[in-house]
């Protein structure tokens, strides 16, 4: 049941980003969302090397610094044309097909 709640909460944030961007764009307010995947933090319980070798084509998981840089970009004037963006910061981890990495 917990996985359903987590997925529903993430979906709600994606939809909230869209709704708020539609509502507040006319006031020149941009609404964007950063979607980090597995991240190299102490909370990451599994052995990161095993997860990376098994699932990620890039051979590594993202760092907190990379997530912060994505947030900084979306908050800066460099992204002034970005509105309703759901930016994955995952190194491609969500591209896993179920096949072993070659």
What are the structural domain ranges in the chain?
2-95
Q: What is the pTM of this model?
A: 0.82
pLDDT of residue 53: 64
Integer-rounded Cα radius of gyration of the chain? 16
Bridge partners, residue 62, by sequence? 39
Look at domain 2-95 and name its CATH class.
alpha beta
Render pLDDT for 1-57 as a digit per residue (tens, 0 to 9). 567 777 899 999 999 999 999 999 999 999 999 999 888 888 776 566 666 667 777
Bridge partners, residue 9, by sequence? none
pLDDT of residue 102: 62
pLDDT of residue 4: 78
Per the listing, tokens 């869209």 go with: 18
- Cβ-in-10-Å burial (0-12, 13-18, 19+) of 97 comes to exposed
Render pLDDT for 60-90 as a digit per residue (tens, 0 to 9). 888 999 999 999 999 999 999 999 999 999 8
């Amino acid at each position: 049941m917990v996985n359903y709640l987590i997925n529903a909460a993430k979906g709600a944030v994606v939809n909230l980003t869209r709704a708020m961007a539609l509502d507040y764009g006319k006031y020149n307010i941009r609404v964007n969302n950063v979607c980090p995947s597995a991240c190299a933090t102490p909370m990451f319980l599994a052995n990161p090397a095993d997860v990376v070798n098994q699932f990620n084509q890039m051979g590594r998981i993202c760092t907190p610094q990379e997530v912060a840089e994505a947030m900084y970009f979306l908050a800066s004037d460099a992204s002034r044309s970005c509105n309703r963006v759901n930016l994955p910061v995952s190194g491609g981890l969500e591209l896993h097909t179920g096949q072993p990495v070659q």
